[in-house]
Amino acid sequence: MKHGPMRSGFAELIANLRALPGNVMASVNRSSTASSTRGRSQSVFGNVFLHIHSVRTHRWTLRPRFTMGLGVAAGMLFLMLVVSGAVLMIHYVPSVDGAYNSVKNIHFVVPGGRVIRNLHRWAAYAMVVAVFLHMVRVFYTNSYKKPREFNWVIGVILFVLTLALAFTGYCLPWDQLAYWAITIGANIAGSPAEVTDAIGITDTIDIGGFQKLLMLGSNSVGESALLRFYWGHCVVLPLAVVMFLAVHFWRIRKDGGLSRPDDIRDEELEGTPSEALAEEVFQPETKSYGLMCLVKDRTPAVNRGPERTVLSWPHVLRVEVAIAMVLLAAMLLLALFIDAPLKEFANPAVPENPAKAPWYFLAMQEIISYSAFTGGMVLPGITVLMLMLIPFLDRREGGTGRWFGMPGDRKLAGVTAIVMAVTVVAMLTFTITVGWLRDWFPDTNQILITAVNPGTVLAGFVTILTLGALAITGSTRKSAIVFFTCFLVSFVILTYFALIHRGPNWDFYWWPSMWPTH
């Protein structure tokens, strides 16, 4: 018997078992310690999840009042939605017969189901708000300027995808809200018929009917429509968001981090974390660009020293984790105390009255109540297109990375907001008290109403203001500020108006408590 090798084999095994936790951690982390500067750098670029961060982050990025954490918040909320959505998918049945009861089961029977569903609803609402405010932040800090034009476009696409996800999700419980939301949504897709009918070519070219058919998989709202919305909500749209998010994050890195001014004064950075290396100013000849020096053309880091940056680990990660925790706590609190609505089972014979869209679509619903095609397709389409075009139409440099970076920006935005608010309220007042073409001349040709209605009048006014600002100030940036502020103000006011002041039959009421009981 040979005792020696066997004993030493066991000794080695035991030693390995003892060292198991440490070795597993080291193999996962790829570096042994995160306490040294080198280790902290490695923990960022050696980790597939963390390496979307740069190793060092500029202190300007960490000013809370600059970003307000909105982009991170939107991303974290998306993460919460993916997780809670995956849980909901186990219990949800995507069929006309099963959907409503399965949602009821989630609410009343599944352990913790009520909280998960409520969390999903609240996180969805919060994500729409966060994405929207993030867009507002990026606009007013002038951060869409070269080289970040493309990332702004990706951002607008993500905003549209967020709304699409919210809408498709809203339809899944198959209650009265869901059924009539799908019905209205599908008929908006079918609204080009408003024009083709009026010129009498619907029998030949029925664009609206085709779009509607693709959306519903049928001419009426039923099983196939529900399945398509489910498929969109759980497969296609989340995948698209993940893809675009990947590009969005990647472009932040490639475009040189978050935007920041060229002329940062030291006192402006007070209150952000700092470290010894951040104070050091590197001389140009000591910079190393690695692969970047092998290729010609502009590189993101050229002429920008690494000074004033701090290690992303822990400074950025700490902030991100803090935002995630605060959000999760807030969403859980809301989920515990306020239930997501579930109305009666879908009834194709009796619409809800009023049949209101979810709040983030109410601005659109208000202009839809003037004309389906204009309000549901043309104006939203033009608005999204204009938002995407902003960075290509306004290429004026300066003021990047600061809220209202150029002199007069803040005042201009304020004045525009007041002018637009007065205009929107005046337009609404006129429409409610005096009416519109169809009320005066019932036989008006629909093309005229599609082209000239309160919605297009408002859009025309925005155009005049935007071009007027361009003519007076001679600055595309000022013009862009006027356009964006007009969009922002009319979106907020129309949403508020449709939420509070529209009642049964879409009539005007001062307060929901004044709605007639029926």
Partner 1 sequence: MTEQESKDQKCDRRTFMTGGGWLTALLGAVGMAGLGSVAGLKPRVLPDPSAQFKIGPPQDFPVGTVKVFEEEKVTICRDSEGMYAISLVCTHLGCIVTYNDSEQRFDCPCHGSKFTMLGKVTKAPAPRSLDWFKISTLPSGQLMVDRSITIPLGTKVAV
Q: Which spans of this chain sit near partner 1 (rule: CB under 8 A)?
A: 180, 183-184, 186-188, 191, 194, 197-198, 210, 213-214, 217-220, 222-224, 348-355, 365, 368-373, 436-439, 442, 446, 449-450, 453, 504-507
Cα 229 to Cα 95, 172, 290, 364: the distances in Å are 11, 7, 48, 20
- Least gap, CB of 202 to partner 1 (angstroms): 11
Contact of 421 with 496, CB cutoff 8 Å: no
- Position of tokens 């007070």? 270
Buried b (16+ CB within 10 A) or exposed e, 20-39: eeeeeeeeeeebeeeeeeee
Q: Is 58 helix (H, G, I), strand (E, B) or coil?
A: strand
| Residue number, 49 or 510, with CB nearest to partner 1 | 510
Compute the distance between CA of residue 513 and CA of residue 500 in angstroms, rounded to an integer.
10
- Least gap, CB of 220 to partner 1 (angstroms): 5
- Least gap, CB of 495 to partner 1 (angstroms): 16
| Residue number, 152 or 180, with CB nearest to partner 1 | 180
Compute the distance between CA of residue 184 and CA of residue 75 in angstroms, rounded to an integer.
30
| Residue number, 35 or 505, with CB nearest to partner 1 | 505
- Least gap, CB of 438 to partner 1 (angstroms): 4
Chain centre distance of CA 155: 8
| Residue number, 440 or 511, with CB nearest to partner 1 | 440
DSSP, res 306: S
Compute the distance between CA of residue 119 and CA of residue 134 in angstroms, rounded to an integer.
21
Compute the distance between CA of residue 379 and CA of residue 22 in angstroms, rounded to an integer.
60
Compute the distance between CA of residue 64 and CA of residue 324 in angstroms, rounded to an integer.
15
Cα torsion 483, 488, 491, 492 to 10°: value is: -150
∠ at Cα 128 (125, 130), nearest 5°? Answer: 105
| Residue number, 203 or 267, with CB nearest to partner 1 | 203
| Residue number, 300 or 516, with CB nearest to partner 1 | 516
Taking the chain, what is the end-to-end CA distance rounded to the nearest angstrom?
A: 96
- Least gap, CB of 449 to partner 1 (angstroms): 6
| Residue number, 419 or 437, with CB nearest to partner 1 | 437
| Residue number, 364 or 387, with CB nearest to partner 1 | 364
Chain centre distance of CA 276: 37
User: Of all residues in the chain, what percent are helix, strand and coil, respectively (each to 5)?
Assistant: 70, 0, 30
| Residue number, 23 or 219, with CB nearest to partner 1 | 219
Structure tokens at 463: 């155009």
| Residue number, 36 or 220, with CB nearest to partner 1 | 220
Contact of 76 with 203, CB cutoff 8 Å: no
Contact of 335 with 88, CB cutoff 8 Å: no
| Residue number, 303 or 517, with CB nearest to partner 1 | 517
Compute the distance between CA of residue 242 and CA of residue 244 in angstroms, rounded to an integer.
6
- Strand-pairing partners, residue 311, are 56
At 500, the amino acid letter reads I
Helices (H), 232-295: 237-254, 276-279
Query: Other CB atoms closer than 10 Å to residue 5's CB: what's the count?
Result: 8
Q: Is 172 helix (H, G, I), strand (E, B) or coil?
A: coil
Compute the distance between CA of residue 283 and CA of residue 275 in angstroms, rounded to an integer.
18
| Residue number, 8 or 429, with CB nearest to partner 1 | 429
DSSP, res 502: B
- Least gap, CB of 341 to partner 1 (angstroms): 18
- Least gap, CB of 186 to partner 1 (angstroms): 7
| Residue number, 214 or 426, with CB nearest to partner 1 | 214
